[in-house]
Chains A and B, each alone.
Chain A
Amino acid sequence: MDKTVASLQEAVAGIGDGASVMIGGFGGSGAPIELIHALIDAGPKNLTVINNNAGNGHVGLAALIEQGQVAKLICSFPRSADPKVFTDLYLAGKIELELVPQGTLAERIRAGGAGIPAFYTPSSYGTDIAEGKPVAEFDGRPYVQERWLKADFALIKAETGDPMGNLTYRMAARNFNPLMAMAAGTTIAQVSRVVQLGEIDPENVVTPGIFVDRLVTVAEPKQEETLNREGAAYPEVAA
């Protein structure tokens, strides 16, 4: 079994207009910047993107939004140091936003991957976010029903992978990535290195390969924070 592909272009192949795409990361940590940029190059439109945030600056998710490829964003916190790209489109009514509390977003994705169509959470009870959602009482406390969240594709970032798709992560770059890997029809992972089968101790596997479909090596992945400090943009603007 070998899930590795040779290029970023090959990794994002088949993501078409109107697809739903989960993108891992929390802010810049764990954001698969190179896969997102490959998706910009591939050019599908009207995407529904699921991410915790709405991008920062003019690289990664912000760049994908800036290129007009995102019709709808499902996220918890569409603010950042430089959220101008999303903010302008949102205030102009050109992008749809579904705001989800962060823990609910994580659990909806987990439920999607786990085959649980709905669950009850205390989060958002009595708030505007809960409007129109079923409420039920358990042991005397009210809870709000939330539904699973699935997507056609997931773009995730991990540290080490093997040809079967087993993955490990690096520090807080784990965040949403293992959850999204479970919840998408096709999960595409960029990893800093691919090692031979058996080189990842089974005790240390965080995402078992069953959740992963394609693996591409990006040996020295860029950090969104670093790119933004350099004033970078994608596609690069000719000087």
Chain B
Amino acid sequence: MSTQLDTIKLTNAQIAWRAAQDLEDGAYVNLGIGFPEMIATFQPEGRDVVYHTENGVLGFGEAPAAGEEDWDLINAGKKAITLKPGAAFFHHADSFSMVRGGHLDLAVLGAYQVAENGDLANWSTGKGGVPAVGGAMDLVHGAKRVAVVTDHVTKKGEPKLLKRCTMPLTGVGCVTRVYTSLAVIDIEDGHFVLREKLEALSFDDLQAVTGAELKTKGDVGVLVAKVL
């Protein structure tokens, strides 16, 4: 089963592309370090989105050319960025006021596990090493929508969407939508609600690699991803 999934599943870039289609015109958005940052690459034409980074910038753009970096101008991933017209700088307390105060429209994060009640585990596998949390525990609270981009299963083929998380939690009841390599799933009233799935995958096959019940409300759409 897992080898079969590997041949049809979306790449990270395709998941990011799908998530980008839901970016709303005029939205203030925070994209987590790494995979979620790719979403900005696929921002649809004609939509104006203002990106927020925890370290005190609103309205940043893509990375500068190599050699053009200014190391006073970085994002939360410590990568060099550029500014768009209308950008603003602010200190860390104002930055997290934007986060917790409900001023962001959308935050997108990665995940180790997501539970049907909206719990998210994405900061620690609980297996020792050096713990690091950064801004994740703040970002999951306050944004109007908190979305996750993730592979549907782990590298070993185990479900990442579960009844309850087994790894240390980042936040409780915080996730509203999950974009996976196989499906788009909303979290409503403590349940996974399937919105879209890959056409090549049956509902039963998708349910088999999901650790909690998938409910449906009306038609399930086809998860279409651009060939990238």
Q: Are A122 and B89 in contact (CB under 8 A)?
A: no
Q: Give the complex CA separation of A128 and B167 in angstroms.
A: 11
B159-197: contact bitstring with A at CB < 8 Å (1 yes, 0 no)? 000000000111110000000000000000000000000
Q: Name the residue on A nearest B91 (C-beta).
A: A178
Which listed residue (B55, B96, B133) contacts A26, Cβ 8 A?
Answer: B55
Residues of B close to A79: CB separation below 8 A: 130, 132
Contacting residues, chain B, for A127 (C-beta < 8 A):
137, 168-172
Interface magnitude class on chain A:
35 or more
Interface residues on B, range: 35 or more
Would you call B138 an interface residue if the criterion is a C-beta within 8 Å of the partner chain's C-beta atoms? yes
CB of B92 within 8 A of CB of A78, answer no
B90 x A174 contact (CB < 8 A) = yes
A175 and B169 within 8 A (CB): no
Contact assessment for A126 and B93 in the assembled complex, using a CB-CB cutoff below 8 Å: no
Q: Is the CB of A106 within 8 A of B92?
A: yes
Instruction: Let me know if A7 is at the binding interface, CB within 8 A.
Output: no
Q: How far is the CA of A97 from the CA of B70 in the complex (A)?
A: 31
- Quote the shortest CB–CB distance from A130 to chain B (angstroms): 9
- Interface assignment of A145: CB less than 8 Å from any CB of chain B: no
Alpha-carbon separation in the docked complex, A110 to B92 (Å): 9
Q: Mark B76-106, 1 if CB is under 8 A from A, else 0.
A: 0010000000000111110110011000000
Known contacts A128-B168, A175-B56: A99-B133 contact under CB 8 Å:
yes
Residues of chain A lying within 8 A (CB to CB) of residue B54: 102-103
Which residue of the partner chain, among A109, A123, A170, A174, contacts B100 with CB atoms under 8 Å?
Answer: A123
Q: What residues of B have a CB within 8 angstroms of the CB of A122 in the complex?
A: 100, 141-142
| B56 pairs with A101, CB closer than 8 A | no
Residue of A nearest to B170 (CB): A127
Residue A77 at the chain B interface, CB threshold 8 Å: yes
* A107 interface residue per 8 A CB criterion: yes
Report A-chain residues with C-beta under 8 Å of the C-beta of B92. 26, 52, 102-103, 105-106, 175-176, 179
> In the assembled complex, how far is the CB of residue A56 from the closest CB belonging to chain B, in whole angstroms?
8
- Which B residues touch A109, using CB under 8 A? 93
Given contacts A83-B130, A176-B92, contact A225 B71 (CB under 8 A): yes
- Determine the chain B residues whose CB is within 8 A of the CB of A90 once the complex forms: 130
Q: Is A87's beta carbon under 8 Å from chain B? A: yes
* B28-85 residues at the A interface, CB under 8 angstroms: 53-57, 69-74, 78
**A211 at interface by CB-CB < 8 Å:** no
User: Is A129's CB within 8 Å of the partner chain B?
Assistant: yes
Q: Are B78 and A103 in contact (CB under 8 A)?
A: no
User: Is the pair B169, A78 in contact by a Cβ cutoff of 8 Å?
Assistant: no
User: Is B134's beta carbon under 8 Å from chain A?
Assistant: yes
Most buried by B among A97, A127, A172, A177: A172
Q: How far apart are A77's CB and chain B's nearest CB, in angstroms?
A: 4
Complex CA gap A125/B99 in Å reads 15
Determine whether B211 belongs to the interface, using a CB cutoff of 8 Å to chain A: no
Stretch in A27-35, A42-50, A61-69, A193-201 with 4+ CB within 8 Å of B = A27-35
User: 1/0 per residue B118-153: CB within 8 Å of A?
Assistant: 010000100001111111111001100000000000
**Cα–Cα distance between A27 and B77 once the two chains are bound (Å):** 9
Q: A107: nearest residue on chain B (CB-CB)?
A: B93
In the complex, which of the residues A87, A106, A177 contacts B130, with contact meaning CB atoms closer than 8 Å?
A87
**Does A160 interact with chain B (Cβ within 8 Å)?**
no
Most buried by B among A103, A105, A175: A103
- A residues lining the B interface (CB < 8 Å): 26-30, 52, 76-81, 83, 86-87, 90-91, 97, 99-107, 109-110, 121-129, 169-179, 206, 223-226
Interfacial residues, chain B to chain A (CB-CB below 8 A): 53-57, 69-74, 78, 89-93, 95-96, 99-100, 119, 124, 129-138, 141-142, 168-172
28 CB-based A-B contacts, threshold 8 Å = A26-B55, A26-B74, A26-B78, A28-B78, A29-B71, A29-B72, A77-B132, A77-B133, A77-B134, A79-B132, A80-B78, A87-B130, A101-B138, A103-B54, A103-B99, A104-B138, A107-B93, A110-B93, A121-B100, A123-B141, A125-B171, A125-B172, A126-B171, A127-B170, A172-B56, A172-B73, A178-B91, A179-B92
Query: A27-B74, A29-B72, A127-B170 are known contacts; what are 13 more A-B pairs with Cβ within 8 Å?
Result: A28-B74, A77-B134, A91-B130, A102-B134, A102-B138, A110-B93, A123-B100, A125-B171, A128-B169, A171-B73, A172-B53, A175-B92, A224-B71
